[in-house]
A = this chain, B = another copy of it.
């Protein structure tokens, strides 16, 4: 461990660095919760980065060509808030004082949208590494597409501060391996090698040679032996700029530096230092014993940071104006991409299917819709976790994203979690619309990142195919059961399970039209009939989540609702029942979220309160359907794991058949109140 505590404030930089340290101690103390140690340790590296290397403009936090900074160790949020405050972002001292309080701009972990200058929501460890990789990918795509020789209007870098915990998490390993493969040279991770975790020293569980591991990934690795050595930090940043590979800087720090008693202890990780230790630390720093003190030197540094940012922004603006003048179509396109708007008529040529086009798996119909949309929307980027063909995302003629070329087709490797974290990074970067695919059952691997898509309100599109026991022979490890329930339970995530090819096209329309909501498209492996829309009505009912496919001539006395592949036996059942004296409505119910967003009157029109005999059918866990079926209804599903056998055998064995639906519906209809 570097033995000397940080110097007292003897030069300009240290005045600001010590301000960050003091604010971190004071804010955590005042909130009586939080993480003071890491902000203190990383303050020097943060300050040098933000005032000398980071390309940003505090008064223009939305400048598209800004460098992206990610605090992957989000618990160290006071580092970020201190940097934002001291470099002149709109984050006044009152907000620092309201750290971790209801409604403040300074939540416990950084939250995208809550604070100007915060790029992504972090806290769940490892995610920020994936976000950073995704952002560096986005930058490369935009740069390659839009830059002209003398006008590099897209030219920025991605910097992330990461902790031991980030690098222990598998999602970071996945993303780092991909970043090395793609040679994302504008990506730099600063690894806070403080050798302290919550439970004690990292020796407890972590003795790997991180540098060797990252060299194995194809990264440029450098080391800074003392996190307080500003000159060494500068040199490491400069070396990162010069290398064509992604860079990992192993920065040896001392947690809670320079707190005399608690530095280098796990006690300084996640709890206030206490008034006495703070007083003594301020003594060491030659600092007034006053909470939330910001010295005049720091104020002057803020002015300089603002001016530095304004200059950079001004230079870029000049280039951008020239670019607009010299390359009007490209400028217009880049602008549209950055706003996230879809081009006029983007969906005019989406495919439409007739019954003769079936049977067709919805994953195949999805492939057709994606192919068309990719052509018209222009900025769709994505691919699969090694299931491009199976999931229908292999795009003919679209170049691959490789180390040499930033094509829009990405091979994520067998790294679902890394993929999802990168998708969040791409979406948060702006300018591109990302999607990723795998089998639905492996949404499990992506869950932490999908939750963050929803929390950050990023319109990422997830494609989950092989969506039920329809998977067949691959067996229970590959057959989703509980996944629809898991995904539907996530706030602000739209789950859509279309019933046929035309609903699948509508699902893509809905997904691409969303701007603040991620979507999961849930698609079959197996072929399904294409519904005759002349008979069953337009598939655009999907946009309202649920709609009537079939109605008896008289008022319905029973309702069968179903999603995806189960709509077909439901229809068969409803028509047979109606013919047989049980007037039955059949509702296609592809999306709970879209349905619940409709007006009361629409919902009442589709599911009239007076019709209590209801059956819901879905080849999945029944959880949650009772809300729609009423007490007098019945839910047909699968509350057990699947099995390995041909799909048709499984639907029979698990009794997910039209016959069962007929029997259940007749039963609830007979017993209706």
- Listed in ascending order, the chain A residues whose CB lies under 8 Å from chain B are 31, 33-34, 74-75, 100-104, 107-109, 111, 121-126, 164-165, 168-174, 177-178, 180-181, 197-200, 204-213, 215-218, 384, 386-390, 394, 400, 411-418, 441-442, 444-445, 447-448, 451-452, 454-455, 472-478, 481-482, 485-486, 488-492, 621, 623-624, 626-627, 630-631, 639-641, 643-646, 649-650, 653
Most chain B CB within 10 A, of A486, A491, A624, is at A486
Q: In the bound complex, do residue B412 and residue A205 qualify as a contact, i.e. CB atoms below 8 Å apart? A: yes
Hey, which chain B residues are within 8 Å of A485, CB to CB? 485-486, 489, 623-624
A653 touching B174, Cβ below 8 Å: no
Q: Is the CB of B384 within 8 A of A199?
A: yes
A250 CB, min distance to chain B CBs, angstroms? 12
A419 CB → nearest B CB, Å: 10
Residue pair B212, A216 in contact (C-beta under 8 Å): yes
In the assembled complex, the CB of A173 is this many whole angstroms from the nearest CB of chain B, namely 4
Residues of the B chain whose Cβ atoms lie less than 8 Å from the Cβ of A170: 126, 169-174, 415, 417-418
- Given the interface contacts A386-B199, A474-B123, A644-B100, does A216 sit within 8 Å of B216 by beta carbon? yes
Contact yes or no, A414 B168, CB < 8 A = yes
Shortest distance between the CB of A383 and any CB in chain B (Å):
9
Contact status A488-B623, CB under 8 Å:
yes
Contact of A198 among B389, B481, B482, B644 (CB under 8 A): B389
Tell whether, in the assembled complex, residue A477 and residue B455 are in contact, meaning their CB atoms are under 8 Å apart: yes
Closest 5 CB pairs of A and B: A170-B170, A205-B413, A107-B644, A212-B216, A123-B477
A394 vs B266: C-alpha distance in the bound complex, in angstroms?
15
Known: A102-B650, A125-B414, A491-B640. 9 other contacts (CB 8 A): A101-B644, A107-B475, A198-B389, A444-B447, A444-B448, A491-B621, A491-B639, A623-B624, A631-B631
Least Cβ distance of A531 to chain B in Å? 28
Q: Check if B413 sits within 8 Å of A455, measured CB to CB.
A: no
Contact A473/B389 with A170-B170, A413-B205, A489-B485 known, Cβ cut-off 8 Å: no
The smallest C-beta distance from A252 to any residue of chain B, in angstroms, reads 18
CA distance A101 to B645 in the complex (A): 4
Query: Nearest chain B CB to A135's CB is how many angstroms away?
Result: 19
Contact among B215, B441, B472 for A212, CB-based, below 8 A: B215
Q: What are 9 A-B interface contacts by the 8 Å CB criterion?
A: A108-B475, A109-B475, A124-B441, A124-B444, A199-B411, A205-B414, A212-B215, A485-B489, A489-B621
Q: Given the interface contacts A168-B414, A169-B415, A213-B217, does A477 sit within 8 Å of B621 by beta carbon?
A: no
Task: List residues of chain B with CB within 8 A of the CB of A414.
Answer: 125, 164-165, 168-169, 197, 205
Contact of A100 with B478 in the complex, beta carbons under 8 Å: no
Q: Contact between A477 and B206 (Cβ–Cβ < 8 Å)?
A: no
Inter-chain CA distance A211–B217, complex, in Å, is 10
Contacts of A481 in B (CB 8 A): 489-491
CB distance from A355 to the nearest CB of B (A): 27
Chain B positions within 8 Å of A165 at CB level: 386, 414
Tell whether, in the assembled complex, residue A478 and residue B123 are in contact, meaning their CB atoms are under 8 Å apart. Answer: yes
**Cβ contact of A74, chosen from B108, B164, B411, B477, cutoff 8 A:** B477
Cα–Cα distance between A451 and B621 once the two chains are bound (Å): 14
- Which of B207, B473, B482 interacts with A218 by CB under 8 Å? B207
Identify the closest chain B residue to A215 (Cβ).
B212
Task: Chain B residues near A198: list those with CB within 8 A.
Answer: 386-387, 389-390
How far is A213 from B31 in the complex, measured between Cα atoms in Å? 42
Q: Given A170-B173, A198-B386, do A33 and B473 touch, yes or no (CB 8 Å)?
A: yes
Across-interface contacts of A121 in B (CB, < 8 A): 476-477
Q: Are B180 and A102 in contact (CB under 8 A)?
A: no
Q: Name the contact of A108 in the complex, choosing from B101, B418, B473 (C-beta under 8 A).
A: B473
Q: How far is the CA of A174 from the CA of B172 in the complex (A)?
A: 10
Q: Which listed residue, B164, B177, B387, B451, touches A199 by the CB 8 Å rule?
A: B387
B residues near A218, Cβ cutoff 8 Å: 207-209
Shortest CB-to-CB span from A69 to chain B, Å, is 18
Which of B168, B472, B624, B644 sits near A413, CB closer than 8 Å?
Answer: B168
Contact between chains at B482 and A109 (CB < 8 Å):
no
User: How far does the alpha carbon of A387 sit from the alpha carbon of B627 in the complex, in Å?
Assistant: 37
Q: How many Å lie between the Cα of A485 and that of B414 in the bound state?
A: 27
Tell whether, in the assembled complex, residue B205 and residue A178 are in contact, meaning their CB atoms are under 8 Å apart. Answer: yes
Contacts of A447 in B (CB 8 A): 444-445, 447, 486
In the bound complex, how far is the Cα of B650 from the Cα of A505, in angstroms?
41
Q: Give the residues in chain B near A108, CB-CB below 8 Å.
A: 473-475, 478, 644
Please, which residue of chain B has its CB at the minimum distance from the CB of A482? Answer: B489
Measured CB to CB, the nearest residue on chain B to A620 is B489
- Looking across the interface, which residue of chain B has its beta carbon closest to that of A166? B414
Please determine whether B181 and A442 come into contact, CB atoms closer than 8 angstroms: no
Closest B residue, CB atoms, query A387 = B198
Query: B207 to A180, Cβ gap below 8 A?
Result: yes
A75, B386: Cα distance in complex, Å: 14
